[in-house]
Structure 1
Amino acid sequence: MGQRSAQAATEELGAWASGVDAADVPPEVLERLGLVTLDVVGVAAVGAGLPEQRALRRAWELPVGPAPLFGTGRTAPADAAAWLTAVAMACLELDEGNKYAKGHPAVHGFPAVLALAAARDASGADTAAALLVAYEVAARFGRATSLRPGGHPHGNWGVAGAAAGCARLLGLGPQACAAAVDTGAGMPIAGHFDSATTGNPVRDAWVGAANTAGLAAARMAAAGLARNTGTAELSLGALLGEFDPRALTEDLGTRWHITEGYFKRHASCSFTHPAADAILELARDEPVDPSAVEEIVVETHALGAGLSGVDWDNRLSAMFSTPFVVAATALDGVVGPHTYRAGRIDDADVRQLARRVTVVAADDLTARLPAERATRVTIRGTDGTTRRCEVPNPVGDAAHHPFDEDAVVAMLHEWLPGEEDFVARLRRFSRELPTLAATGEPLRGLDGTATPSAAPKEERA
């Protein structure tokens, strides 16, 4: 389409972003924003409790700052909070995603916007508008971008969303917002998908970098140092794949991508979820007896067919292995944070069953993308019997058994045992966000410390 087309589309998108007002947003969109906020902030608190995340915070030598590190009992400067929150949000593969964006829009911008809102004590209305802008712009850039084979979507198209959300929160005008978006689009990370399947945590760091890059892009625009030159056509297009700027402005203001996302009940890549859901469906009629399984065939779309590895050696590589997820689901009934705490990645029974899982691409399922991420699972028994189940999307998708607030809260209670007060405060914040006069103290109230005088959880652990 050309650099000028990207420039024009970015200009239109920036003008829209600068004018988003929470008061004019449809109620169902604001309700969904609250649900996404509830999910991703809660998931960040779950991730923050992992030993490696505690170690990362210690290595960071964090000073006290105005922005919360959700669930830790600590605060930090905005940039550090944005990075560390994003990594904690992504590290368990539980954060909300969007099939049309082909990735995770929220994690690319919500940590930066929430950290900046806490630092500036922004109003709830402005913060809600900025979060919506961050999500919508990231999702549209995700739709517009087709990465080269092997490209991972973390840390590239999502930077534009972080930049847009932060620019909106800073109150920048149309041209400055467009310049911030363009600058963010010019700071992508070229990450390879195999970093995830081979278990390299750099994959989580990509979203941390996206959030801090978005903050930097918005500040450059605020200082008058940014320009809109259609950079996305060069960085996301010529270098990383293909870029179609028409997706940036199509149905702008009427189609809200945040209403089309999915929530996750399995701690694994979303491409593995339909297979796990199919196993659970089959187990409702008759439990899966591993000793009676000859083979489990998982037919899936082309995007998910590569997640076939059986040589995982850490949590991240296991989360990107359909054989692991299928085997663990068949044996345990779920794949959650506790699956990894319990050492199931090293369990002999899980590995033995996983070696009997075959993952193949099916053209008819690929043809149903992007509206469906369908999967067929066939269990062939040692006695010659065959059982089959097909699911069109993961459970929790907006189009397939969508989750409501009660469902998300129930998952958070399961993943955050003993943190009922934190979950209740987060639920209240997510509901009341657009009406809050200021967000600084309410956000810092989500750092995980029950009372202002309580010692941080890092010190109490």
Structure 2
Amino acid sequence: MNQTDEFSAGLNRLCEWVTACRWEDMPESVRKRAVLVLSDDISAMIAGSLEPEPARYREKVLSRPRCAESAVFAAGLPAADRFQAASLNALAGNWCELDEGFRRTICHAGIYVLPALLAEAQALGLRYTQVLRALVLAYEVVTRIAMSFRFAQPAVHGHALWSSIGAAAGVVIARGGNAAELFGAVTAAATTASMGPRPHLVEGVLVRNGWAAAGAVNGLQCADWAACGIQGAESSIPAVYRDILGAAENFNALDDQLGIEWSIASGYHKIYACCQHGHSAVEAVLELVRSHALDAGRIRSIVVYTHPLALTLSNPEPSTTLGAKFSMPHMVAAPFVFGTGSARAFSSDALHDPQVAHLRRIVELRPYEEALVPPHDRPAKVVILTTEGRVHESECLSAQGGPDRPLPESVLEQKIRELSVPVLPGLASLLAPDSIARLGSTPWGELLDMLR
């Protein structure tokens, strides 16, 4: 069996397992994680909807004649056709860097799956538990495909690489498609991957926030195509990621421990409004601020020892708030000044703050000196020298929010409640222990009306 055949066999096994897996087969912990991911990502969509660029795009889209079949998570909960709703919600959902992510490889599976899935679910009248089932299983598909390919130096961003696969999987599963249809849709979706340059993150190029939206639309389209026999081939996915983009293969990831280890259980949630690669540094800085009552104006030098992914985020002069979210110098400097890693530290005011700008310029990034073994593979140690000659340091081996250091549910509930108030003030109520039992059979559209 050659490598392409090996991949195809593994993907077939994955698709067969996914389409046979029932909601009743999922452990209680996995069901609970699905609710957390759903609620967290919808709250991120609502937060992004308030930003000026997504708001202008939404106004443009909604000014055109449209079929009102799926909700847009913005003020008034307007409706659009499923393609437009998926695009708008995906764009907003990753705008503020508050959506959840997957810890085992670079793959924000929730924001790849949910915009298309939720649009389709409302149009079809799916029940709440059907939505959650499709989320869990599509999350499994896209993360296992992403883990099957390793890039030594990623040149293309994960949102561009994987979003169409997650969207296609979610829609096919929502429609009750069989294994062959799922196989055909995700292989087709891989060929629509965008070539989104990873350096655009550091440069703050705003089109980066559009890659997940493009993937949502492409995934929906590929699900439609697959249902009509317009599908990818066994070679499609390896051809894109291995042959064109040069990834190394790890095809065991497709079905290793399938049904025992659930990908959605390896997700992380954010309370810092920036790239997760820098969360350990943010946490280390906040510990310094708490422990030493530091005056940011008395810091002479800042040295940050951190992991390779963070070392690439080295721009000391970000020109946009997106650039600030992917600038390690800003991720370190702003919390010293503002005492928080929340959206305030990555606002336009923070970007242009003179004291933050000064601190960004004195941040020096160095490789972390110890072995990087998961879950301590994204650490940071921050060492500062004050103008009085005092040295202070703080180290964070793994930021809170991941499977090894989960956020207290009360903290995550507060985040969801605060972000969702403008549109769905009842969203955080989905985290109640009995919510699935009470609401599981409710159609998704009706549930949204109940949460308003």
Map 1:44-83 to 2 at 5 A: 44-60=45-61, 61-62=63-64, 63-73=66-76, 74-83=78-87
Contact 1:157-1:188 within 8 A present in 2 as well: yes
Using the size of structure 2 for normalisation, the TM-score is 0.92
Contact 2:75-2:422 within 8 A present in 1 as well: no
**Distance in 2 of aligned mates of 1:224 and 1:444:** 36
Q: Deviations over 1:80-139 (max 9, x none)?
A: 111110110101111001120323111111111111000100122322111111211111
Q: Is the alpha carbon distance of 1:302 and 1:341 closer, same or farther for their aligned partners in structure 2, counting shifts above 3 Å? A: closer
Secondary structure of 2:268 counterpart: coil
Structure 1 counterpart of 2:240, from 235, 238, 241? 235
Contact 2:171-2:220 within 8 A present in 1 as well: yes
Map 1:265-280 to 2 at 5 A: 265-280=271-286
* Paired residue type of 1:171: G
Match of 1:34 in 2: 35
- RMSD between superposed Cα atoms in Å: 2.2
Contact 1:22-1:125 within 8 A present in 2 as well: yes
Instruction: State which drifts further: 316-325 or 430-439.
Output: 430-439
Map 1:174-193 to 2 at 5 A: 174-193=179-198
Structure 2 residue runs of 5 or longer lacking an equivalent are none
* Paired residue type of 2:385: R
Using the size of structure 1 for normalisation, the TM-score is 0.91
Shift of 1:309: 0.9
Shift of 1:274: 0.7
Map 1:21-420 to 2 at 5 A: 21-60=22-61, 61-62=63-64, 63-73=66-76, 74-147=78-151, 148-242=153-247, 243-341=249-347, 343-362=349-368, 364-365=370-371, 367-369=372-374, 372-400=377-405, 402-415=406-419
Q: Deviations over 1:139-158 (max 9, x none)?
A: 11221122354321112134
Secondary structure of 1:11 counterpart: helix
Structure 1 residue runs of 5 or longer lacking an equivalent are 451-461
Q: May I ask how many residue pairs the two structures share in their alignment?
A: 445
Secondary structure of 1:296 counterpart: strand
Contact 1:140-1:248 within 8 A present in 2 as well: yes
Higher RCO structure, 1 or 2 (CA under 8 Å, sep 6+): 1
**Distance in 2 of aligned mates of 1:379 and 1:26:** 46
* Paired residue type of 1:101: T
Shift of 1:445: 5.3
Contact 2:143-2:263 within 8 A present in 1 as well: yes
**Distance in 2 of aligned mates of 1:428 and 1:162:** 27
State the 4+ residue runs in structure 1 displaced beyond 4 angstroms: 416-420, 424-430
Contact 1:151-1:190 within 8 A present in 2 as well: yes
**Distance in 2 of aligned mates of 1:316 and 1:57:** 19
**Distance in 2 of aligned mates of 1:202 and 1:360:** 29
Secondary structure of 2:101 counterpart: coil
**Distance in 2 of aligned mates of 1:91 and 1:429:** 30
* Paired residue type of 1:30: R
Contact 1:10-1:230 within 8 A present in 2 as well: no
Instruction: State which drifts further: 134-143 or 153-162.
Output: 153-162
Shift of 1:383: 2.6
